[in-house]
Amino acid sequence: MSEPLVIVGNGMAAAKLCEELSARALGRYAVAVIGAEPSLAYNRVLLSDVLAGKLPAADLQMKPAAWWAKQGVTLVYGTPVAAIDRAAHAVVLADGRRMAYGKLVLATGSHPIRLPLPGADLPGVTTFRDLADVSALLAAARPGSRAVVIGGGLLGLEAATGLAGAGVETTLVHLMDRLMERQLDMPAAGLLRQAVEARGVTVRLEAHSAAIEGTTRATGLRLKDGEVLPADLVVMACGVKPNADLARAAGLACNRGVIIDDALATDDPDIFALGECAEHRGATYGLVAPAYEQARVLARRLAGADAAYPGSTISTNLKVSGVHVFSAGDISGAGAQDILLNDRAHGLYRRLFIRDGALVGAVLFGDTADGLYYLDLITNRTPIAALRTELAFGRPALAA
């Protein structure tokens, strides 16, 4: 008889885990996936394209209902899990139903960060995290309306370019001195700003948000210096935090996220976690690639194989409205040499960071086709002495 395996969360990490399990452990588990959102798993990376009108929401679906049925997966979506009964090996749904598990996987994702600003609870203030957020923005976003997006990271850029693409007069405000300051050096961030502004977004850097203006609904964002940016919509897109609520309430070890070991297990050997809710060796990852790496390892573990997750090399690949940016590894420059390729005429920029004979970081703007090649060199700590002269020109030049 198949062991009951319950996955809490119906996002990209859960879908990848089910895909990997179908290839490695078909029939070993009776899998049930429980999701709070009233839809099948979808690709969050493409939400900005839906907002800009480039894609219908239906195209974000990762797997059709027929695929889930073929794998024998029981889907329960639109009803969140309210509690974990560890003693009884069961989860309790918000509607009172109970589902028994032999193994439990938490893939609960993350919460969008909402800044504790005065007026943050006014109508017209939203986040940019899921299809419900996009639906609310589409309902309010009309050509000629005005929006202010708070946050100059990935989420903020996606929200801002999506709104501008929908015809909304959009201003992006960011606390720091450059966009994507964790992933880009100053020159690359400057190129990104130019590209974003060319797509109709006004960028305001070193802008400190102080309060949301309005009485019955949002009418603007007041900055710390007193300036008010008029807005019909204020979008908080300033990051996410791991959703460890269920795990914490169940008494599992948590820090920022649900603490897991190299086997993706929590301190309860029958409960695992992966994706944005999980914390491994003190690190949490708000990106898709680490979640997929974790899913592959966990599927192998659940199938009985010996596999371990060593952690992930952070990489970011931004493709929004024709803007191509890639960043990976350590780009701080501390103790490193760098190789720079800057072709302003063609809008190409590459900066590679080398330490102890290996590539440790890379920033690409304009042409990111070699991003995965550089990521592979970084991850494997490949000696690059023989490649160094041609390294900035990427894989094609080296293979010629």
Say if residue 72 is in the same domain as residue 15. Answer: yes
Residue 311 inside a domain? The answer is no
Say if residue 130 is in the same domain as residue 64. Answer: no
Say if residue 149 is in the same domain as residue 99. Answer: no
Say if residue 225 is in the same domain as residue 290. Answer: no
Residue 209 inside a domain? The answer is yes
Say if residue 130 is in the same domain as residue 231. Answer: yes
Residue-number span of the structural domain to which 59 is assigned: 3-111+240-302
**Count of domains in the chain?**
3
Residue ranges of alpha helices (H) inside the chain are 12-24, 47-51, 65-70, 131-140, 154-165, 186-198, 245-249, 288-302, 371-380, 394-399
The pLDDT assigned to 345 comes to 87
Residue 118 inside a domain? The answer is no
pLDDT band per the 50, 70, 90 thresholds, residue 400: very low
Say if residue 52 is in the same domain as residue 104. Answer: yes
Say if residue 217 is in the same domain as residue 170. Answer: yes
pTM of the model: 0.93
CA distances from 200 to 117, 168, 196 (A): 27, 9, 7
Residue 323 inside a domain? The answer is no
Residue 315 inside a domain? The answer is no
Q: Report pLDDT digits (tens) over 23-48.
A: 998 789 999 999 999 999 999 989 98
Say if residue 222 is in the same domain as residue 259. Answer: no
Say if residue 137 is in the same domain as residue 91. Answer: no
Residue 120 inside a domain? The answer is no
Tell me how far apart the alpha carbons of residues 325 and 345 are, in angstroms, rounded to a whole number: 17
Q: Report pLDDT digits (tens) over 96-147.
A: 999 999 999 999 999 999 999 999 999 999 999 999 999 999 998 888 899 9
> At 382, which CATH number?
3.30.390
Tokens of residue 206, six digits: 């070193």
Say if residue 248 is in the same domain as residue 104. Answer: yes
